[in-house]
Structure 1
Amino acid sequence: MLYQLGRSLCRTYFRLFFRWEIKGAEHIPADGPVVICCNHIDNMDPPLLGSSISRKVHFMAKKELFSVPLLGPILPRLGAYPVSRGAGDKGALRKSLELLKEGKVLGIFPEGTRSKNGQLGKGRTGAAFIALRSDSVIVPAAVTGPYRKFQRIKITFGKPIDLTPYRAKGINSETVEEVMEKTMNEIAALLPINPPN
């Protein structure tokens, strides 16, 4: 209930204050586990991504946010779960795999931090590892900004990446790197050559 309310409020906000455009939402599978891998340009990316599709999207959020009064208690109801940044968080990994086993959707920003210039950075391999360990597909996504009032903000979803051939090779560091490189290339293909400033 709270998630649906939050999504409705976000949709209203983006429609009123931005020239919001969604492209390729039909590429999101109607059911089953999905990992959406998206570039990261602003703190508004998670609500933009989450409100752009009909399925509920779960996100990792830095654990410090869960200690913030008022915000912390409602984050889990909004689909967020804590992660300790800067170190391998086995609890967050387990939670990610549990959600995917339940057929849920994860939203992950593989760069790990916001881009300061709008250019796509290097992807960290955690997203690829999580996707390979589950039965999910990866859906590449790209946000084109910047977030300026009454200017265009666009999110584009690409076609799902079938990980079956990669899983057949065995889940190892080489395969994980290969999947991450494929994913980042697919995200890059959704972005304009010269991103707006």
Structure 2
Amino acid sequence: MTLYDFIKRVFRFQFRLMGWKMQGVENMPSEGPVILALNQVNFWDPIVAASSLSRQVFFMVKEELFSIPFLGRILLKLGAFPVKQGQGDINAIRQSLGVLKEGRVLGLFPEGARSKTGASPKGLPGIVLLMDKSKASVVPIKVHGTRHLLTKGWGKLGVVVGKPLTAEMLKAPVGVENRREWIANQVMQAMSELSEAK
């Protein structure tokens, strides 16, 4: 058993005790390259999302976390890799494409940072670049109930996995000036339209 699988089992056990609800997990493709587009209110969101899926998710994580000695090593062992926020990070893009070209699942946050309010801002066009280069589909996913998870999250924790969005489904209409921005916002809209798991 890998470290990733062991940690996932531990968290799945804990989340089940908390009344964890999952919806739409059957929408996740069982093979092939996938870009997981995830909302993020706090650090629990990617953990809850990854624990919900049978496939391993390779997350793009802000580079500052890798400078924390113990945490940085754990993140690397779990398949995460650093990205410099607020700028075009060529190394992060190359690593992302490498994950997708191997037919794996790339986890990222299209808005580029955590939302303090939970609202969905505009998506960053980088996700479209990855789609274009890899031909991967995008699976929107919504995690809810992670605010104050350990104290107030009991019975509120849930995950909703949306249906895959393919390049064909995300073709920009004729006349759209900024294609990448339009597609990125369509992904964000698909994420925001996911209702909470019941």
Which TM-score tier does this pair reach, normalised by the shorter chain? 0.7 to 0.9
Residue identity over aligned pairs, in percent, reads: 40
Deviation (angstroms), 1:188: 1.4
- 2:172 and 2:183 in contact (8 A); partners too: no
User: What is the root-mean-square deviation of aligned Cα atoms in Å?
Assistant: 2.1
Deviation (angstroms), 1:6: 1.0
Structure 2 counterpart of 1:181: 185
- In structure 1, runs of 5+ residues without a counterpart are 193-197
Describe the shift of the 1:121–1:168 C-alpha distance in structure 2 as closer, same or farther (beyond 3 A).
Answer: closer
Question: Equivalents in 2 of 1:121, 1:2: separation in Å?
Answer: 34
Q: Structure 1 stretches (4+) deviating beyond 6 angstroms?
A: none
Structure 1 counterpart of 2:14: 13
SS at match of 2:113: coil
Deviation (angstroms), 1:144: 2.0
TM-score by length of 2: 0.87
Pairs within 5 Å for 1:8-47: 8-16=9-17, 18-47=18-47
- In structure 2, runs of 5+ residues without a counterpart are none
Pairs within 5 Å for 1:1-197: 1-16=2-17, 18-145=18-145, 146=147, 147=149, 148-164=152-168, 174-191=178-195
- 2:33 and 2:102 in contact (8 A); partners too: yes
Deviation (angstroms), 1:168: 9.9
- 1:50 and 1:56 in contact (8 A); partners too: yes
- 1:142 and 1:157 in contact (8 A); partners too: yes
Describe the shift of the 1:178–1:149 C-alpha distance in structure 2 as closer, same or farther (beyond 3 A).
Answer: closer
Deviation (angstroms), 1:105: 0.2
Aligned length: 189
- Name the amino acid aligned to 1:135: K
SS at match of 1:163: coil
SS at match of 1:111: coil
